[in-house]
Amino acid sequence: MVHRDMSNIASVVFLFFGVWLSACCGSAVCAEGDGATAADDASPALAEPVEGSMVYKQVGDRKLRIDYTRPAEAVGDSPRAAVVFFHGGGWVGGKPGQFLEHSKELAARGVACFRVEYRLLKGTPKNTPPITCTEDVSDAFRYIRGHADELGIDPNRIAAGGGSAGGHLAAYLGMLDDEVRDGVSRKPNALVLFNPVYDNRPGQWGNGRVGDQVQRFSPSENITADDPPAIVFLGTNDSLIPVATAERFQKAMQDAGLRSELHLYKGQKHGFFNYKKQPGGGENYRDTTDKSIAFLDSLGWFDQTN
């Protein structure tokens, strides 16, 4: 049985704002080094971001949480843009903290960030499709958007981001037909995707679990003109996602009239973008983060948050 812990939002919102107030009382394919540069001027640096956590649903005895990192200054008249991150791990592993450093950087520029815990497929048969994963991220995204007023965010400026299997989940929300519940959409307004496994056709990663349900789970097979703009990062030596797969996705986005950026990193392998790959993040973390910030800034998200 699945049910939401709706009483949790009151205490979380009190903490969210209480600490906050007290703190203040176009389409492109680019090779590494090309395209957008660091977005230092996207918005001024703010005070140290504030961390917290909240429960978005309960399955049996297990409470599923959303960790957040948000700007430290008080809520003004203009609600914040937001990014909801989903961690990678092949749907069987990983932790929400994968995108903690990304969250801190975005929050320092005025964007609220959320990192979602979702049920994993660890211990299930290898042909088990990621149904619980997609259910959980859908519920989490709707929970955040449904409580946008309390969380001080703009429901029309919420991006989904993720890496690998988490990139699949973010793209799933962006490309699959929307499922509106209680008047709340699960469809993000932009996508930030790090080596995403967004093509699950036969011969592509994830098909062993998706099987003959490609149309149900594969973002690449569901691109339509109402989908959000996207930025994608991929290493050319990624063993899970061939460059041709990313180029196919890019072309489908263009054919649908959608904005999409594909940034290729020569010689880089799967997971090259992670902060922990090198001390202090390294150049790949730095470059992909700067390009993500520039992408969101180009959508006007930073201009509206100040």
Closest C-alpha to 261, from 253, 270, 269: 253
- The confidence band for 5, taking pLDDT boundaries of 50, 70 and 90, is very low
Per-residue model confidence (pLDDT) at position 32 = 59
pLDDT reading at 86 higher than 50: yes
Note the pLDDT tens digit of each residue in 228-248. Answer: 999 999 999 999 999 999 999
- The confidence band for 39, taking pLDDT boundaries of 50, 70 and 90, is very low
pLDDT reading at 2 higher than 90: no
What is 2-305's CATH superfamily? Alpha/Beta hydrolase fold, catalytic domain (3.40.50.1820)
Per-residue model confidence (pLDDT) at position 122 = 96
- When comparing pLDDT for 27 and 96, which is higher? 96
> Average model confidence (pLDDT) for the chain?
87
Find the helix packing angle between 131-146 and 165-175, rounded to 10°: 60
Closest C-alpha to 210, from 256, 250, 245, 172: 172
Count other Cβ atoms within 10 Å, centred on residue 131: 14
- The confidence band for 211, taking pLDDT boundaries of 50, 70 and 90, is very high
Region of poorest pLDDT, from 37-41, 81-85, 175-179, 240-244: 37-41
Note the pLDDT tens digit of each residue in 108-157. Answer: 999 999 999 999 999 999 999 999 999 999 999 999 999 999 999 999 99
pLDDT reading at 219 higher than 70: yes
**Where in the chain are the domains?**
2-305
pLDDT reading at 55 higher than 70: yes
CA 269/CA 236 separation, integer angstroms: 7
In this prediction the pTM is 0.86
pLDDT reading at 290 higher than 70: yes
pLDDT reading at 73 higher than 50: yes
Region of poorest pLDDT, from 16-30, 71-85, 255-269, 270-284: 16-30
Residue 138 CA to chain centroid, in angstroms? 12
Per-residue model confidence (pLDDT) at position 28 = 62
Instruction: Kindly state the average pLDDT of the residues 262-289.
Output: 93
Name the one residue in this structure whose structure tokens are 């499709």.
Answer: 129
- When comparing pLDDT for 5 and 172, which is higher? 172
Percent of the chain with pLDDT over 70: 82
Closest C-alpha to 92, from 195, 240, 209, 217: 209
Count other Cβ atoms within 10 Å, centred on residue 41: 9
Cβ-contact 145, 62 below 8 angstroms: no
